[in-house]
């Protein structure tokens, strides 16, 4: 059904940009991957996040938030961007007493989560001060795929031929945040409008971002289904997670433009070890902890920024 909708839109103008294809694939109100498929409160339908691996992740984060609360004298309120299935919510609220916990999530609230303010749009968020947590949130935005060919930048678009979808390149007229070598691809995420709107709502806040990322030229686009990389994302629309590596340099620059100050950027393994993850582990958690610290620990980074006074 979603493929028919995509084909119909392509036929109006000859193609759709890749960020539009991602937007339809993931967030179409009825048939999108996040809005339709991933609604079960079970582990690892197509991927497993850190809070799903072990409750120790959320407990470490709760400990850290409590420490920063005492240091910065911020309200002990939490805004979680992309709450997903609620595993992180439970681990944090079980560990510390929070004045108010708000979740921004396009999916419906899981029926086993109580006592949180669940919103689907930033327009539903009033003025906010406190802590903002974003675990694998910024990689879930629509993104363009920019490619360098012969000293020019091109973007991937999706076209249609007799009902079959395919990718083509058209010249890209915008700016690329980093310098690409010949043949390299860059996933350009559509973060700007969201960050401006978020900043307008914030008075004072400490933002902690967990996501997988790399340097310019080493950022990749990936499609997942059933915990496996797949190539048929043009056919299995709405059934496949589309994602890409986060350029933390670009994300940091956008956050600074909307009033945040850089605090730190480090591997996830360093963050977890520095905050004593071993204190929160049960013997049965050891395999999960190794994944967090070794595999995800190298690939994932933790960006921390602080906003003190709103410029608006």
pLDDT in tens, 199-224: 999 999 999 999 999 888 889 999 99
Nearest to 143 by CA among 10, 9, 16, 22: 22
Residue 44 in this model has a pLDDT that exceeds 60: no
Q: How far is CA 62 from CA 16, 59, 72, 84, 192, in A?
A: 42, 5, 15, 18, 28
For residue 146, what are the contacts with CB-CB under 8 A and spacing of at least 6?
153, 154, 155, 156, 172, 176, 180, 185, 186, 187, 188
For residue 161, what are the contacts with CB-CB under 8 A and spacing of at least 6?
none
The single residue listed with the structure tokens 């997942």 is: 224
For residue 1, what are the contacts with CB-CB under 8 A and spacing of at least 6?
30, 31, 238
Locate the domains of the chain by residue range.
2-307
Is the separation of the CB atoms in 305 and 260 below 8 Å? Answer: yes
| Domain 2-307 annotated CATH 3.40.50.620 | no
Task: Write out the two tokens for 194.
Answer: 């969201």
Quick: pLDDT tens for 71-111: 999 999 999 999 888 899 999 999 999 999 999 998 888 88
Q: Output the CA angle 145-150-156, nearest 5 degrees.
A: 20
How many other CB atoms are there within 10 angstroms of residue 210's CB atom?
Answer: 23
- Give the confidence band of 159 by pLDDT, cuts at 50, 70, 90: very high
Is the separation of the CB atoms in 96 and 76 below 8 Å? Answer: yes
Mean pLDDT of the chain: 91
For residue 6, what are the contacts with CB-CB under 8 A and spacing of at least 6?
16, 21, 24, 158, 165, 237
Nearest to 16 by CA among 2, 31, 30: 2
| pTM reported for the whole predicted model | 0.92
Residue 38 in this model has a pLDDT that exceeds 90: no
Is the separation of the CB atoms in 309 and 204 below 8 Å? Answer: yes
């Amino acid at each position: 059904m979603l493929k028919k909708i995509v084909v119909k839109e392509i036929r109006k103008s000859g193609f759709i940009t890749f960020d539009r294809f991602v937007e339809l694939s993931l967030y179409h109100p009825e048939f999108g991957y996040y809005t339709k498929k991933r609604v079960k409160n079970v582990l690892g339908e197509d991927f497993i996040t850190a809070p799903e691996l072990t409750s120790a992740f959320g407990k470490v984060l709760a400990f850290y938030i409590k420490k920063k609360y005492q240091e910065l004298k911020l309200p002990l309120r939490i805004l979680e961007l992309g709450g997903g299935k609620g595993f992180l919510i439970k681990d944090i609220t079980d560990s510390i007493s929070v004045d108010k916990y708000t979740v921004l999530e396009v999916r419906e609230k899981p029926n086993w989560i109580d006592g949180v303010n669940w919103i689907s749009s930033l327009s539903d968020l009033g003025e906010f001060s406190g802590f903002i947590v974003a675990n694998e949130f910024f990689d879930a935005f629509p993104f363009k795929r920019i490619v360098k060919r012969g000293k020019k930048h091109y973007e991937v678009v999706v076209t249609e031929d007799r009902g079959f979808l395919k990718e083509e390149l058209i010249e890209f007229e915008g700016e690329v945040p980093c310098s690409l070598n010949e043949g390299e691809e860059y996933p350009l995420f559509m973060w700007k409008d969201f960050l401006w709107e978020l900043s307008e709502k914030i008075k004072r806040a400490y933002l902690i971002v967990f996501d997988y990322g790399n340097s310019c030229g080493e950022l990749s686009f990936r499609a997942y289904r059933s915990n496996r990389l797949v190539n048929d994302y043009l056919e299995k629309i709405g059934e496949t997670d589309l994602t890409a590596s986060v350029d933390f340099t670009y994300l940091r620059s956008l956050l600074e433009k909307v009033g945040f100050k850089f605090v730190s950027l480090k591997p996830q393994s360093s963050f977890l070890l520095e905050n004593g993850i071993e204190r929160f582990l049960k013997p049965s958690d050891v395999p999960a902890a190794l994944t967090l610290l070794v595999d995800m620990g190298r690939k994932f980074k933790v960006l921390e920024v602080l906003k003190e006074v709103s410029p608006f």
